[in-house]
Amino acid sequence: MPSGSTLAVFALASFLLIVVPGPAVLYVVTRSVAQGRRAGLVSMLGIEAGGLVHVAAAAIGLSAVIASSAAAFTVVKLAGAAYLIYLGVRRLVVRDDALPEVATGGRSGKRLFVQGIVINVLNPKTAVFFLAFLPQFVDPAKGTVTLQFLVLGLTFVAVAMLSDGAYALVAGTAGDWLRGSARVRRWLSRLSGAVFVGLGVTAALSGRPHD
């Protein structure tokens, strides 16, 4: 098991990395502004659930495969980019009478949760990040390396939940007064669609982290 001091340093380093807005934060913020705090929080939980998949993959070595295989990295990257673009196009072409206002639970909440999982799972850079970042805090002399990976990964996800959850609450609150107008809802939907498409295109054109 990592020592208490190691976990504290790791948690601080994780927070400093997470708090800087990236694709996951942008996704959560976009959902929150367009559909409300609940939608943002549900999307955040999906993102973190996807993070747990990466933690497990890193612990059993699958991240090493993605990191070392250009073909595997490219396939996963393009699948994730295509999914983001698909979500964005759907938002851009949605009918005005079908614009989402808030996530009220049920199918809507489940859909947002699943989308968050898929977006994070299909982000190969998250896998490579875990493989590159976590080992810096692993000490074989402290015990089983796999267990240390799991503890550090779960700590990272817990810190991400707090940070991304705060973004969701703030962005959702700011969006409350905007969503009162159908015209503004239409604008927010188009904007969020453009953001998703932009994220997808950026992901598709980006190279491997060490390129």
SS (H, E, C) 109-129: HHHHHHHHHHHHHCCHHHHHH
Would you say residue 95 lies in a domain? yes
Task: Give the residue among 137, 155, 148 at the shortest CA–CA distance from 52.
Answer: 155
Q: At what angle do helices 124-133 and 145-176 cross, to 10 degrees?
A: 130
In this structure, is the dihedral angle defined by the CA atoms of residues 154, 158, 159 and 164, taken in order, positive or negative? positive
Would you say residue 210 lies in a domain? no
Give me the pLDDT at residue 67, please: 63
- How many whole angstroms separate alpha carbon 9 and alpha carbon 14? 8
SS (H, E, C) 131-200: HHHHHHHCCHHHCCHHHHHHHHHHHHHHHHHHHHHHHHHHHHHHHHCCCCCHHHHHHHHHHHHHHHHHHH
Q: With contact defined as beta carbons under 8 Å apart, do 57 and 134 qualify? A: no
Would you say residue 11 lies in a domain? no
Mean pLDDT, each 10-residue run in order, the chain (211 residues): 81 81 82 87 94 87 68 74 79 58 60 90 77 75 80 92 92 73 64 75 66 49
Would you say residue 112 lies in a domain? yes
Residue type, 97: D
Would you say residue 113 lies in a domain? yes
Residue type, 134: L
Give me the pLDDT at residue 42, please: 94
Please give the tally of structural domains in the chain: 1
Would you say residue 114 lies in a domain? yes
Q: With contact defined as beta carbons under 8 Å apart, do 133 and 54 qualify? A: no
- How many whole angstroms separate alpha carbon 60 and alpha carbon 120? 18
Domain containing 91: what range? 23-205
Would you say residue 6 lies in a domain? no
Residue type, 121: V
